[in-house]
């Protein structure tokens, strides 16, 4: 063991963060040890507060610290953008000209991982479209097999309701993750969306 036990334990904790290896975790740990006590306390508190105060919006399912998120509170549901995970909302919000709401599925259809329609928030989407008189549903799942299958499933499901279902298209290159797309790519993808039902 190169470091004292408390430092090695902290390194192990930091390694759980996405994309963090031993060396990076060690740098973070040394930073913590060297930092002001107040700053360290704030970091620890902010971690706990973010975890305990973050809930899922009762309408769309995205992260919020209230019952209903600020987007659902302030925008109408004429257009609903359907995404797989709460984190995708912040990604899509980079597109400044989108003023609709979101609906978080909680994942994508995956036969391999045994995830069917009942495991996603699809019933909630259906109910929402009917009560809100939604005109368009934009499916913004990742451009991969699961994301495409999910989009097709939603399109089929919603076609009897007379709601337009579109899929973000041009600009998002196949196989990449939505999270890494830049604003321009996302903006183009929104503009070039194609009707799938």
Minimum gap (Å) between residue 42 Cβ and a second copy: 6
Instruction: Give CA separation, 161 vs 37, 87, 115, 134, in Å.
Output: 58, 28, 25, 10
Stretch that binds a second copy, among 32-40, 104-112, 121-129, 165-173 (CB under 8 A): 32-40
Stretch that binds a second copy, among 29-37, 72-80, 117-125, 151-159 (CB under 8 A): 29-37
Are the C-beta atoms of residues 95 and 186 closer than 8 Å to each other? yes
Across the chain, which distance is largest between two alpha carbons, in Å?
64
Minimum gap (Å) between residue 16 Cβ and a second copy: 7
Q: Residue 106, Cβ neighbours under 10 Å: how many?
A: 16
Of 31 and 191, the one with the shorter C-beta distance to a second copy is 31
Residues 54-93 interacting with a second copy (rule: CB under 8 A)? 54, 63-66, 69-70, 86-87, 90, 93
Of 53 and 191, the one with the shorter C-beta distance to a second copy is 53
Concatenated DSSP letters of 72-122: HHHS-TTEEEEESSTHHHHHHTTSTT--SEEEE-SS--BTTTTB-GGGTTH
Minimum gap (Å) between residue 183 Cβ and a second copy: 12
Are the C-beta atoms of residues 68 and 58 closer than 8 Å to each other? yes
- As given in the structure block, the two tokens for residue 75 are 């925008």
Q: Which residues bind a second copy (CB under 8 A)?
A: 2-7, 9-10, 12-14, 16-19, 24, 26-33, 35, 37, 39-54, 63-66, 69-70, 86-87, 90, 93-94, 179
């Amino acid at each position: 063991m190169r470091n004292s036990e408390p430092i090695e334990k902290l390194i192990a904790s930091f390694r759980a963060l996405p994309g963090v290896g031993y060396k990076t975790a060690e740098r973070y740990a040394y930073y913590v040890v060297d930092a002001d006590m107040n700053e360290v306390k704030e970091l620890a508190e902010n971690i706990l507060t973010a975890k305990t105060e973050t809930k899922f919006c009762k309408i769309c399912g995205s992260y919020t610290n209230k019952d209903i998120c600020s987007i659902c509170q302030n925008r109408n549901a004429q257009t609903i953008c359907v995404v797989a995970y709460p984190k995708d909302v912040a990604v899509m919000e980079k597109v400044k000209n989108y003023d609709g709401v979101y609906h978080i599925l909680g994942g994508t259809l995956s036969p391999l991982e045994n995830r069917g329609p009942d495991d996603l928030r699809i019933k909630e989407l259906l109910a929402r479209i009917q009560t809100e008189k939604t005109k368009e549903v934009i499916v913004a799942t990742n451009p991969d097999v699961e994301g495409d299958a999910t989009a097709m499933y939603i399109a089929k499901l919603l076609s009897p309701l007379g709601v337009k279902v579109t899929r973000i298209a041009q600009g998002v290159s196949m196989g990449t993750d939505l999270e890494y797309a830049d604003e321009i790519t996302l903006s183009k993808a929104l503009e070039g969306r194609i009707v799938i039902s």
